[in-house]
Structure 1
Amino acid sequence: MTTSQVSEKALPESKKRSKAAKGTVKIESDKGWLRLRFSVAGKRYAFAVGLPDTLLNRKVVQAKAQQIELDIISGNFDPTLTKYKPEKLSQESKADLLTIPSFFESFMEYKAKEVCSKTMEKYRATYNYLLKFFCDQPVNFLDEAVTEKFMNWQFSQGLSPDQVKRRMEELEACWRWHKAENNPWEKMGKRIKVPPKQRPKPFSREEINTIIEGFRTDRYYCSYADFVEFLFGTGCRIGEVIGLRWQHISDDCSQIWIGEQLTRGKRKAAKRNRARTITLTAKLQNLLIRRKQSNPDPDSLVFTSPKGGAINDHNFRNRAWKKTLTRLGIDYRKPYNTRHTLISHALDLQMNPVMVAQLTGHDVKTLYENYAGNVNSRPTLPEL
């Protein structure tokens, strides 16, 4: 397919890198700006065309690509590229052309290669707010006063200080990634003071046993009982348990290797690329032995949904978890609280914090700051 044959519906696919056919001039997007890439007589060429990546500009660049293709076929190709290159634009002119939302959109495309789907959802939310507030305003429209108006407008939309601060930090990172001469977002995030939040209350031992038994006796959600018990017993992140495969478990089921996680169907390395091996209690070991079939497929999941697929953490939380806790009369806390609960009880039992951090994949400082919500691990006032 030549560039001239690309339909409007196929345009978004043209942003993806793929090997072009011989004689084809390929349109690419680099940090929100269009460029052309092609080969002539074994020599590769690539140059920017000086236009931001928009639907209209892609049609303009498409015509230029077609001209180059015809010149190659007819023998009139200019190897110096002078015939095809536009006049060099200044940074100020580029800022006039590129809109604020599209500036962030190119940053999103770059980040999509390295962040999880949950993070991309947050980026998309930020993009939608930019689109709603700025529409097609150019990048050079921004200054500190305008960014402050955008910040205050988000508060008027009902966003929390934590949400607004995160968005300001995302935008600051975007402008830094673009190496923009001025970064009007630089000071915004620091000006937002996020009120401290009370640490979540860990589940008591009685609540843990009640929840596990509640799942085991539930006609609809009993298939999640082992999954829930394993979450409480290991303190692993939910995605780590969802993504656990039989190849990660020792032959006698006494140890598990945690180096991957599975979230919303996307498998990736464990957080911070930190792998760890956990020696299980006899109770959890027997749980796995009961689930283990003879010669299980090493790639198959240890814990699955009722239909046999990967567990969707969103569906599990909103259906099985919430309904079960409500039925049992237990105050709602997110499933992730199973991790906080394990750490709190381990510290209550005077377990070495360094050992706890090794089991859960934290550093000791993070462990105390974010997870040590139990009474015995806190400093106490002296008796006077």
Structure 2
Amino acid sequence: MGRIGLGVEVRETSIRLSFTFEGRQYRRTLKANGQPISPTLANVGFAERLAAEIRTRIKFGTFSMREYFHEDDTGTGVLTVGQQLDTWLSTLRVEHSTRAGYSSAVRFWQSSTCDKFGKKLGDLPLRTMLTSHVLTALASRPDLSGKTRNNYLGVLQDALEAAVTDRVLEVNPAAKVPKAKHQKLPPDPFTREESEAILQKIGQLFPGHVFNMAEFWFWSGLRTGELLGLTWANVDLEHGIVHVRESLVRGQYKGSTKTNVARRVIMNSRSRAALERQSLLPRAKGPTVFLDPRTSKGWANETVFLKSYWIPVLKWLGIRYRRPYNCRHTYATQMLMAGMNPAFCAGQLGHSVEIFLGTYSRWLDGDRNALEMGRLEAAISG
């Protein structure tokens, strides 16, 4: 065993700090994820800086054991980035689907390479974390879309900001990492001819549950989770109203919509007819409106519908693939092309007017754009 610097003990396979706090002598082996860090030159240098910082803060009365050391079942070690992320995630009270997304981001950061030596960001002592570590981790995954990159970065920034609030960190090393520029893809609705061809083929091949759900989807504008989570208690066939109050996300019922605002959807003749037909079919024991015909139970998600019904029909018809979610876009554009009030359309889809207009501005003028260009073409040819 050797001793380098005040308060730093270098052992054969570990490094230990020694200091006196509130009249008590402490010795702490520096660890990462429960394992002692090896006594490399770089780690010894870090230990010396850490020991000096601890002495200074003890001197001025600003030292806290919680800020520097993490208690776990394997002993006391330095708090790592991975542990901070886990701690932050455990404190959140969020929906199941939101937590799943956050967990994915946490796993990404914990397993990403953050330096040229292949060190994992999750194993890095939190107080040694640099902005360059974050940038290196992001650079190691060039396949990430701009949206996913920004979502992951947001999680890291929030977790580290919590460490700043707890005075574990003085500054957030991820705060100034720029977000990726990415362009949100515009809506890609089906044409009226395409949607009618799809419904006709589904009606021929899969009448009953599948056809009723597909027609209602095309002519109601509900989000995927809202459609799959629709219950008979929220359907008023007599008055032609559907109350959208909840949704099904990742197989879990969420007691609210995506925007946390309930709405009343007024049914048209097509969506109403689909629900009337559905009401005559044998119902499951549960309250769900639309059922998987193979199980007579509600759909857990859209995967089976996609693979067994949607994709085969589009291939059969030779129609370019788009997700069933585009049924919602199709309904929005059909309303606008019919000249309906944008404010009413926005309310039916559960959008603010601003978001609705920004999303569907291309269809605001219906067929008038083509008519106006037709006049110009007539003048050119004349």
TM score, norm. by length of structure 1: 0.69
Residue 170 (str. 1) matches residue 155 (str. 2) = yes
Mapped partners of 1:94, 1:371: distance in 2 = 51
Summarize deviations over 1:320-372 as a string: whole Å, max 9, x none. 22222111110011111111111112112221111011101000111122344
Aligned to 2:110: 130
Aligned to 2:328: 339
Aligned to 1:117: 97
Counterpart selection for 1:232 from 215, 218, 224: 218
Q: Quick check: 1:105–1:127 contact (8 Å CA) kept in 2?
A: no
Aligned to 2:289: 302
Mapped partners of 1:353, 1:289: distance in 2 = 28
Aligned to 2:67: 91
Counterpart selection for 1:205 from 174, 178, 192: 192
> Larger Rg: 1 or 2?
2
**CA spacing shift, 1:376–1:119, aligned 2, 3 Å:** farther
SS in 1 for 2:298: coil
**CA spacing shift, 1:205–1:369, aligned 2, 3 Å:** same
Q: Quick check: 1:257–1:278 contact (8 Å CA) kept in 2?
A: yes
Q: Quick check: 1:104–1:127 contact (8 Å CA) kept in 2?
A: no
- % same residue: 24
**CA spacing shift, 1:278–1:168, aligned 2, 3 Å:** same
Mapped partners of 2:234, 2:290: distance in 1 = 13
Counterpart selection for 1:322 from 306, 311, 320: 311
Q: Quick check: 2:221–2:349 contact (8 Å CA) kept in 1?
A: yes
Q: Quick check: 1:235–1:340 contact (8 Å CA) kept in 2?
A: yes
Q: Quick check: 2:112–2:137 contact (8 Å CA) kept in 1?
A: no
Q: State the shift of 1:177 in Å.
A: 3.4
Q: Quick check: 1:239–1:263 contact (8 Å CA) kept in 2?
A: yes
Aligned to 1:107: 88
Q: Quick check: 1:154–1:164 contact (8 Å CA) kept in 2?
A: no
Aligned to 1:288: 275
Mapped partners of 2:237, 2:185: distance in 1 = 42
TM score, norm. by length of structure 2: 0.69
Mapped partners of 2:336, 2:273: distance in 1 = 25
Q: Quick check: 1:212–1:229 contact (8 Å CA) kept in 2?
A: yes
Aligned to 1:159: 144
Please tell me the root mean square deviation across aligned C-alpha atoms, in Å: 3.4
Where does structure 1 lack aligned partners over 5 or more consecutive residues?
Answer: 1-49, 58-86
Mapped partners of 1:143, 1:370: distance in 2 = 39
Mapped partners of 2:235, 2:193: distance in 1 = 29
Letter in 2 for 1:213: Q
Report how many residues are paired. 299
Q: Quick check: 2:245–2:261 contact (8 Å CA) kept in 1?
A: yes
Q: State the shift of 1:120 in Å.
A: 1.1
Summarize deviations over 1:283-320 as a string: whole Å, max 9, x none. 32232222225997895111011211221212222332
Letter in 1 for 2:82: P
Q: Quick check: 1:249–1:256 contact (8 Å CA) kept in 2?
A: yes
**CA spacing shift, 1:162–1:273, aligned 2, 3 Å:** closer
Counterpart selection for 2:246 from 239, 247, 260: 260
